[in-house]
Amino acid sequence: QSVLTQPPSVSAAPGQKVTISCSGSSSNIGNNYISWYQQLPGTAPKLLIYENNKRPSGIPDRFSGSKSGTSATLGITGLQTGDEADYYCGTWDNSLSAVFGGGTKLTVL
Amino acid sequence: EVQLVESGGGLVKPGGSLRLSCAASGFTFGGYNMNWVRQAPGKGLEFVSSISSSSSDIYYADSVKGRFTISRDNAKSTLFLQMNSLRVEDTAVYYCARERYTGYDYWGQGTLVTVS
């Protein structure tokens, strides 16, 4: 059972938009920045979003992040087949350990 | 180019030990906190342990506390994870990850630990 709650799967057609939610509590998301990671099949996770809504260099602006209270959302617009992956939210909790969501599998139909 | 390369994984019997290494290059290793994160087969990401740049602050997940020890050698740009009293449930791919931006900006390719 993961500390942060994500939907197991989402799907949308190419070119469409999808959002992935991440729910936590005041001891984690509520008092810390959130990050989002993309894990393509058979590869290591890759940082997509940090500090709630910032993108590292090289991440296209099709990816966006937001946070409100104890929840966060990852948005992906202009979906491409190459976006099919598992997406994880992550943050820190009051014990100074990292916590993650259970992951959301994105299918581009 | 930042690179993190893990090694030391393998097959071990329950109760056994393994020592993982993560060789870092392309950045000033001693300037960053480093972490181990694992992923059991078909499962999500799980924090294992973190160590500050100077080794002054160390944290462990409750599931590994007392059995695993994280350490680092800044002179050799290498991160370690000593794993003792291994259990079947420790089976996972173990990633080392650089801590930055309040998250992890670089990850290694992972090393598989199988306890069976």
DSSP reduced 3-state for B87? coil
pLDDT attached to residue A2: 87
Residues 6+ apart with CB under 8 A from B62: none
pLDDT attached to residue B102: 84
Residues of chain B contacting residue A43, judged by C-beta atoms under 8 Å apart: 109
- Residues A33, A19: Cα–Cα separation, whole Å: 18
Position B4 pLDDT exceeds 90: yes
pLDDT attached to residue B114: 98
How would you write B58-83 as a 3-class SS string?
EEECCCCCCCEEEEEEHHHCEEEEEE
pLDDT attached to residue A36: 98
- Nearest by CB to residue A35, choosing from B47, B102, B109, is B102
pLDDT in tens, B24-72: 999 999 999 999 999 999 999 999 999 999 999 999 999 999 999 999 9
Higher pLDDT, B84 or A96: B84
Output DSSP code: residue A81.
G
Please say whether the beta carbons of A93 and A32 come within 8 A.
yes
Please give the residue of chain B at the shortest CA–CA distance from A32: B102
CA dihedral (B29, A39, A97, B15) positive or negative: negative
pLDDT in tens, B89-113: 999 999 999 999 889 999 999 999 9
Give the residue from B66, B100, B25, B6 showing the smallest Cα distance to A33. B100
CA distance A84 to chain B (A): 16
Please say whether the beta carbons of A3 and A97 come within 8 A.
no
- Cβ-based interface (< 8 Å): residues of B facing A: 35, 37, 44-47, 50, 57, 59-61, 95, 97, 100-110
pLDDT attached to residue A96: 78
- Residues B105, B102: Cα–Cα separation, whole Å: 9
Label residue B62 exposed, middle or buried (CB < 10 Å: 0-12, 13-18, 19+).
exposed
What is the average pLDDT score of chain B? 96
DSSP reduced 3-state for B90? helix
Q: Do B103 and A97 touch (CB under 8 A)?
A: no
Residues of chain A with pLDDT under 50: none
Q: Do A100 and B46 touch (CB under 8 A)?
A: yes
- Residue B62 φ/ψ, nearest 5 degrees: -60, -30
Q: What is the CA radius of gyration of chain A?
A: 13
CA distance A34 to chain B (A): 8
